[in-house]
Amino acid sequence: MNEQEIREALEEWESLSVNPVNCYEYEMRLKWLRDQLSNLQGERRAGWEEGLKKGLKQGREEGVRQVAIEMLRLGLEEEVIMSVTKLTEEELDELKKKLSSNSF
């Protein structure tokens, strides 16, 4: 753009910005865009928090399973393992099957 085109664009902008209807439409559009940005940021934050909670829960569950496997390898009684890890008998049986098939 040359200098004349820039001057004309600035003059047009000034005349548009003086018009109250244009100002109102601009402010409403700007508010809508800011609301959309806020919503996106909120959704992103909520998704991150939910993912973090799921990850922590899965990590704890995997840790409990690993402790149970080590306890099985040490030959501890199943009742003791279930008491310490809070695993059900079915969950412990599943771990024993995996352990016996060397899946770990």
Which two tokens mark 89? 């008998």
pTM for the model: 0.57
The per-residue b/e assignment along 26-53, b for 16 or more CB within 10 angstroms, e otherwise, is: eeeeeeeeeeeeeeeeeeeeeeeeeeee
pLDDT tens digit sequence for 50-102: 999 999 999 999 999 999 999 999 999 999 999 999 999 999 999 999 888 87
d(CA 63, CA 72) in angstroms, rounded, equals 14
d(CA 36, CA 23): 20
- Encode pLDDT of 9-23 as tens digits: 888 877 777 788 887
